[in-house]
Structure formats: C-alpha cells, structure tokens
Amino acid sequence: MATIKDVAKLAGVSVSTASVALRGKGPVSEATRRRVIEAARALDYQPNAIARSLVTRRTRTVGLLLSDLTDPYFHEIAKGVEAVLSRAGYALILADTDRSPEKELRAYEIFRSQQVAGMILAGSGTEDEAHFEQLEKRDVPIVTLGRHRSGLPCVAVDNVQAAKTAAQHLIETGCRRIGLIAGPPGLLAAEERREGYLAALAEHGLSPDPRWMLVGDFTPAGGYRAAMELFTARGLDRHDRPDGLVAGNDQMAIGALKALRELGIRVPEEIAVVGIGGIPTGEYVEPPLTTVALPLKTMGEAAAQMLLCRIERGGGSLPEQHEEHIWLETTLLVRSSTRARSAR
Amino acid sequence: MATIKDVAKLAGVSVSTASVALRGKGPVSEATRRRVIEAARALDYQPNAIARSLVTRRTRTVGLLLSDLTDPYFHEIAKGVEAVLSRAGYALILADTDRSPEKELRAYEIFRSQQVAGMILAGSGTEDEAHFEQLEKRDVPIVTLGRHRSGLPCVAVDNVQAAKTAAQHLIETGCRRIGLIAGPPGLLAAEERREGYLAALAEHGLSPDPRWMLVGDFTPAGGYRAAMELFTARGLDRHDRPDGLVAGNDQMAIGALKALRELGIRVPEEIAVVGIGGIPTGEYVEPPLTTVALPLKTMGEAAAQMLLCRIERGGGSLPEQHEEHIWLETTLLVRSSTRARSAR
DNA sequence: TTCCGGTCTCGAAACGTTTCGATACCCGTG
DNA sequence: CACGGGTATCGAAACGTTTCGAGACCGGAA
C-alpha cells in the first residue's frame, strides 16, 4: 500500500505538507492541496490508521463485548451500536464471551491492547463484584448494558418493573395461578425479573405454588424443557396447574409455547404466556407472543452515544461520571398468547 | 498505561531485552526473564498492539463485512467466524453494510486503513462485477461467503441444489402445484434458488403457474406479504391454488406460515411449506418448519480457517489462489410443515 | 532599501514496539 | 596467557503518521 511518503514524493512536497494538505487542516495553498490530493488518488492512498493512532494516542475503534452472538437479544442491540458508531466514524471490534468470565477478561485485555477508545459490555455470565473490579482499570471508558450494579456507567431497563408488568397483565386478564420460568441464577436480569414477578403476585395477594417455578437458561430449548417438566413431572392435577406463565425472556417463552402445543394445552385458554424482551420472532410463533418489549435498538444506540460522549470529553472514566445511568422504558406488547382483557 | 519502557526501567534492563524477555523469543537469562515478567505484572503492562503492528507490518485483526446484523442467517456464521478467530488470537472487526454497495465499499476502505490482516465478505446487496473489481486491490487476503461468482476465494453452498432438494421433497411427498416465494432479485443466492426450484419442477414435468411465483425480500414480513398476496390477490380458486410452497429462505417461510395460519389454510394438509437455511427458529414455529439446512456455523468456521491459512502463507491474494472454493453440503431437515412421506 | 508580518513549506521529533548488528563478558581450549 | 566461541545484553534504526518550531518567501509599510 502506498504511504504518505509516496504521495508526498509524487506531489513534490514534503511529508508534513502532504499530511496537512490531505486533512485540510493547516494552511496550504490551493495549488499544492490539489496536487497532493491528486497524487493520493492516483496512488489509491489510504492513511494507515495504525501509524496515525500511534502518534495521536487515540484510535477510532470501540470494543463490544457480548455473551453470545447467537442470542437474538443482542442482535438489535448490536445493530444499534454499530449504526451509531459507524456514523461517527468509529470501527467496531467484537468479542463473544460465551458467558465465561475468563473469556470476558481475556477479551477485555485484548481490547486494551488494541487501544480501543472505549468499550461496551453487554452481558456476561457473572455479576461478581470481584470480577468488575478487574475491569476498573480506569484507563478506558466503559459503558455497560444492563449491569447497573457494577458501579460502571450503564444503560439499562427496569427488569423488576418489566416482570411486574408481565405478571400484572396476566392477573388483569384473569389469571390467578401464575408460574415462572426464571432465567439462570446468578444473572442479574434473571434475578430481578423473578423479583418483579414475586412482587406483582404479592401485591395482588397471590402466592405462587413453588411447583410452578422453574429455572431455564434463557434459550428456547431451556424454556421447552421447563414447560415440559412443569406439566409432566411435577404431579399437578387439573386444579393445581398454573393458568398463567411468565417467562424470563422471549426465547424461553417461545420454547414453552412449543412444549404446550405438543402437550395439547391451549394458549391462552388454558394457560396464558408472557415473555420479556420483544424480539422479532415473537410475532411469528403460534400464538403470537405477548411480551414486555425492551427497546433493544435504542439501548444499543444509547450505549454507543453515551460511550462516544465519554470518549470525546476525554480521559478514562472519571469518578464523578461513575454513577451515570440511563433507564429506558419497556412497553407491554399484547398479542395472542394472553387473553384479551375483555375475556377475563 | 505502562509501556515497555517502564517495564524495562523497573526491571533494570534495556528496552530490547525487555521485549525479548516478555515474548520468550531470543536468549535471555532465566534471572532477567523473571525480573522482567515480574515488573510487567507489577505495572499491569499490556503490549501496545498498535505499536507492535506498525513495526511488524501485520495486525492480528480481521474484518467481517455482513449485510445485516439483524438477519439470523448471519448469526451462526458470525459465531463460527468469531470462534476460530479468537482461538487463533485474532480480533474481529465488524461492519454492517445494510445491503448498500456504497456502505460496503466504505467499510472496505476502513478495514484497509485499519490494516486488517484479512477480511471476510458475507453478503452484500449486489453481485455487480464492477463492484467486485473495486475490492480487488490485492493487498489484503479476502474470503467471501457465498459469492462464488466474484472470482474471489469463497466458501459456499450449492444454492441451486438446495432449492432443488426443497422442491423435490415437496414433489416426493405428493405436491404437484408448487409455488415459490423468491428472494430479492439481484441477489445471487435468490437467483440460484429460483433456478433450482424451476429445475426440479422441470425434471418432474411440472410447470409452475406464474401466479404461484412471488418475490419477497428475505424477511419474515416479506414472506408474510407474499403469502397473503398469493392467497388473496391472485384470483386463484380452490383448484388453482398451490399445494406446496418453496420459500427462498427460512425467514420468509416463517412469515408465510403466519399468513397461512391467519387465513385458516392448514399446513401441511392444504399446502406444504419448505424453507432454506436451517435457522434455529424454524424449530419453534407452528408447524415446525421443514427446511434445507445450510451448515451455517461450519460456513463461518471454514471461511475463517481459509482466511487464516491465506494470511499465514503471507501476502495478498496471489493469482493462483484465486479460484479456491469450498463447497459445503446442505441437508434436508424434515419437520412438520411438509407431509410425511408415507402420507403422500 | 530595510524591516515586519503573514503565508506557505519544511525538517525533525515523537508515538511504542521489534529487530538487527555490535559489544561485553565468561568459559574452556590450545 | 591468549584466543575463539557462545551467551547475554544493549543501542539504534525502522515502521507511517502527526505536530511543532523554524525557515523561506513575498508584499507592503516605513
């Protein structure tokens, strides 16, 4: 690849002049500017971002760390992040942690060594305090998605409220025996949603049968297994069965729906199901999934914006910025997997 | 961040010794090696990949260019790519082209300026010859996914055969009036699949009614619209209606399934539906989608492998490497959206 | 004519590494 | 004791930029 030296030589100017001319910064005569630009075009010159970064001591790359590339939850988030970043002229470097804290740490170090201008942490396998301390090197701005316990800046959603909304909707549409397929223990979002579910029930004086509470792993297969267990292995007779089900996320809800279909249990007549997340697929399953939708794309955009803002105002994460949080609203999306309100 | 200079000073050695000691390359006495490593740990030293790259003239990053981060088709591919790359110690930089050739070109230049060691092109909005010529700068190894017409090395799948398999399966299970929801014109995969569909029909002496052939955009919404149009706006009476439907990809099939459900048309009894792709969601829709599955993850892994191999053996895309192609097998996944064979 | 101010251009230093040739040292051999 | 060969360490150059201070040139004012 041609270097700026080649361009300078071809244009018959010094390297420094070429540099200045190409970026239109300092004072250059119109004539030389044209000559330099022409030379650059002729040589198909692309500035070497690496060399540039070395001297300016900043890159235009940000790292995005997520726990599973394959999880639809992240897709719109990633899209939002990418959109904002690329518009701002930043490149996105990406790592999948497979929900392993070690991998996350490794990726974090790689990002640091790549001198990323900042990074976005979206979902890990752990919310461990000690873990976060490792990330607190302070020399690179960080924004997290949904880890508001970490002490790091964060864009998040009120998971407690989201689950509460989900359960309330079931209650309002006539359900009284409401079960839960919770997400994996140890994951903040999962815990909070369980909490919201319990709170909603308590507020309405309902106490859930422990047999109605299951644990999944946020995958459709996990939701499927959980629902199967609920209806086949827990010794529930017709009157013990839940008539409503909150799933910790849409994917588990979708898996559960499949199980219920196979068991011949009608949704929403015999049991209403509500998810949390608002992934696009929810619209295409049978019945279409009622869900508490998270503003996924907006979350990605907001995180990227916030990071950019931190990057521009320079320096690592200053202490006073630390408590910065953005809370986004969720919205209940009523489709057919729950009863219509009038039909209660 | 600490630099190697700091480490050297702390360890009481020269920079060059520190460098050698840290990488365990040249000859260093055990004692100094330990001292240097200890100093590095104490300072939390991370080598600056940027500086390193500048002198070694190679980076350990590869660029992945895809047309829509939101399209499930890419998710497992990206997962596969990420997995082999990160195992090999490479970082992944990612760009979403939104199916726009201009954006693709722009991302390509950004990748070049980032000095990526190589890049993977997965899906664009165009298969234009002139477009590819622009990418032929030859100074960075490229592997494409599914663009075997481009003259660039490629891992691909026989789309003609895949669609043929899909249509054949319908024919073998008793369908005679087989429709098509094709992908967007101009996209190679879409064209090839249409071709395969036509070929299969021709081989069995079936000629499709042009009213059964629709065009979608590879999204569920597109599939939904197409199916709606097929059954409500094309003036087909009971006997004109197709009894089988090939969708250009799974997503359109899933959209179509929803439309059919809403229209009260039973699948597979009244019309059997088969998709192409094998995305995970297919298992969770109603009825579960029969599909010709592409080995998505493997495709990603293979592309990354191939690229790595090219990178290691140094230099840009040499002419003789140009025709290198890897063809992967597809497999028919029979689920319930088509009739069982015995029920023909 | 001299000097000043402004405009344009240039050379050199710096960024954090790796790499290469040179140097210093030690040990064993002749 | 001199010498050769190996081993450990070092200094300097290089990678492709940006940036900064200095220099060259020009026109106009004194």
Task: Tell me the pLDDT tens digit for each residue of A11-44.
Answer: 999 999 999 999 988 889 999 999 999 999 999 9
Dihedral sign from CA coordinates of A311, A312, A317, A320: negative
The CA distance from A228 to A223, in Å, is 8
Q: Is residue A251 part of a domain?
A: yes
Is residue B180 located within the same domain as residue B273? Answer: yes
Protein-to-nucleotide distance from the CA of A58 to the C1' of D22, whole angstroms: 28
What is the pLDDT, as a whole number, of residue A314? 61
- Quick check: B166 and B274 in contact, CB under 8 A? yes
Q: Is residue A55 part of a domain?
A: no
Determine how many CB atoms are found less than 10 A away from the CB of residue B19. 18
At B113-151, the pLDDT tens digits run 999 999 999 976 566 666 666 676 678 999 999 888 878
Find the DSSP H helices in chain B: 4-11, 15-23, 30-43, 49-56, 72-87, 101-113, 129-135, 159-172, 188-203, 220-232, 250-263, 296-312
**Mean pLDDT along residues A170-197:** 95
**Mean pLDDT along residues A46-55:** 97
Residue type at position B92: L
Is residue A68 located within the same domain as residue A146? Answer: yes
At B276-291, the pLDDT tens digits run 999 999 999 999 999 9
Nucleotide nearest to A16 (CA to C1'): C10
At A262-312, the pLDDT tens digits run 999 999 999 999 999 999 999 999 999 999 999 999 999 999 999 999 998
Of A107, A115, A285, the CB nearest to B48: A115
The CA distance from A69 to A95, in Å, is 9
Dihedral sign from CA coordinates of B53, B57, B60, B63: positive
Of A315 and A24, more confident: A24
What is the pLDDT, as a whole number, of residue A343? 45
**Mean pLDDT along residues B238-245:** 90
Q: Is residue A90 part of a domain?
A: yes
Protein-to-nucleotide distance from the CA of A32 to the C1' of C4, whole angstroms: 26
Contact B82 A95 (CB under 8 A): yes
What backbone torsions phi and psi does residue A210 show, to the nearest 5 degrees? Answer: -60, -25
Cis geometry, peptide bond prior to residue B319 (ω within 30 degrees of 0)? no
- Quick check: A81 and A303 in contact, CB under 8 A? yes
Q: Is residue A53 part of a domain?
A: no
Nearest CA-CA partner of B275 in B284, B263, B288, B264: B288
The CA distance from B154 to B146, in Å, is 6
Q: Is residue A52 part of a domain?
A: no
Protein-to-nucleotide distance from the CA of A54 to the C1' of D20, whole angstroms: 17
Q: Is residue A116 part of a domain?
A: yes
Size of interface A-B (CB pairs under 8 A): 131
Is residue B64 located within the same domain as residue B34? Answer: no
Q: Is residue B54 part of a domain?
A: no
pLDDT above 90 coverage of chain A, percent: 80
pLDDT above 70 coverage of chain A, percent: 92
At A198-233, the pLDDT tens digits run 999 999 999 888 999 999 999 999 999 999 999 998
Is residue A289 located within the same domain as residue A300? Answer: no
Confidence of residue A317 (pLDDT cuts 50, 70, 90): very low
What backbone torsions phi and psi does residue B283 show, to the nearest 5 degrees? Answer: -75, -20
CATH number at residue B65: 3.40.50.2300
Residue given tokens 């890897």 in the structure block: B326
What is the pLDDT, as a whole number, of residue B38? 96
Is residue B137 located within the same domain as residue B242? Answer: no
Residue B176 reports pLDDT greater than 50: yes
Residue given tokens 């013990």 in the structure block: A240
Which of helix, strand or coil describes residue A342? helix
What is the pLDDT, as a whole number, of residue A56? 96
End-to-end CA distance of chain A: 70
Pairing of strands B213-215, B178-182: parallel
Nucleotide nearest to A17 (CA to C1'): C9
Residue B37 reports pLDDT greater than 70: yes
**Mean pLDDT along residues B230-252:** 91
- Quick check: B274 and B291 in contact, CB under 8 A? yes
Strand D and chain A: which residues 34-63 have CB closer than 7 Å?
45-48, 51-52, 54-56
The CA distance from B63 to B71, in Å, is 18
- Quick check: A120 and A80 in contact, CB under 8 A? no
What is the pLDDT, as a whole number, of residue A129? 62
Residue B322 reports pLDDT greater than 60: no
Write out the two tokens for B65.
């260019």
**Mean pLDDT along residues B74-96:** 96
Determine how many CB atoms are found less than 10 A away from the CB of residue A186. 11
Is residue B169 located within the same domain as residue B211? Answer: yes
Is residue A279 located within the same domain as residue A183? Answer: yes
What is the pLDDT, as a whole number, of residue B321? 47
The CA distance from A197 to A208, in Å, is 10
Protein-to-nucleotide distance from the CA of B35 to the C1' of D7, whole angstroms: 18
Is residue A163 located within the same domain as residue A253? Answer: yes
Contact B96 A107 (CB under 8 A): no
Protein-to-nucleotide distance from the CA of B55 to the C1' of D8, whole angstroms: 24
**Contact residues, chain A, for B107 at CB < 8 Å:** 86
Lowest mean pLDDT among A64-78, B160-174, B312-326: B312-326
Confidence of residue B342 (pLDDT cuts 50, 70, 90): low
User: CA-nearest residue of chain B to A61?
Assistant: B93
Domain range holding A16? Answer: 4-47
Nearest CA-CA partner of A72 in B199, B47, B79: B79
Of B70, B94, B284, the CB nearest to A258: B284
Contact B47 A113 (CB under 8 A): yes
The CA distance from A7 to A20, in Å, is 12
Residue given tokens 């060594």 in the structure block: A113
What is the pLDDT, as a whole number, of residue B130? 64
What is the pLDDT, as a whole number, of residue B323? 57
Nearest CA distance, A50 vs chain B (angstrom): 6
Q: Containing H/E element for A8?
A: helix A4-11
Protein-to-nucleotide distance from the CA of B26 to the C1' of C25, whole angstroms: 18
Q: Is residue A126 part of a domain?
A: yes
CA distances from B270 to B96, B174, B238, B267, B301 (A): 40, 11, 10, 6, 39
Residue B317 reports pLDDT greater than 60: no
**Mean pLDDT along residues B34-49:** 96
Contact A113 B48 (CB under 8 A): yes
Write out the two tokens for B91.
């970082």
Of A341 and A322, more confident: A341
Is residue B287 located within the same domain as residue B323? Answer: no
At A167-177, the pLDDT tens digits run 999 999 999 99
What is the pLDDT, as a whole number, of residue A124? 65
Q: For testing the chain B interface, which of A62, A74, A113 should be mutated: the one with the most B CBs within 10 Å?
A: A113
The CA distance from A215 to A123, in Å, is 19
Strand D and chain B: which residues 4-43 have CB closer than 7 Å?
12-17, 20, 26-29, 31-32
**Contact residues, chain B, for A284 at CB < 8 Å:** 220, 254-255, 257-258, 281, 285
Nearest CA distance, B66 vs chain A (angstrom): 11
- Quick check: A34 and A21 in contact, CB under 8 A? no
Residues 6+ apart with CB under 8 A from B188: B127, B146, B147, B149, B159
| Domain tally, chain B | 3
Is residue A287 located within the same domain as residue A183? Answer: yes
**Mean pLDDT along residues B221-233:** 95
Determine how many CB atoms are found less than 10 A away from the CB of residue A205. 6
Q: Give, to the nearest 10 degrees, the angle between helix B72-87 and helix B296-312.
A: 40
Residues 6+ apart with CB under 8 A from A102: none
Q: For testing the chain A interface, which of B135, B281, B283, B289 should be mutated: the one with the most A CBs within 10 Å?
A: B281
Is residue A169 located within the same domain as residue A287? Answer: yes
Confidence of residue A128 (pLDDT cuts 50, 70, 90): low
Is residue B284 located within the same domain as residue B177? Answer: yes
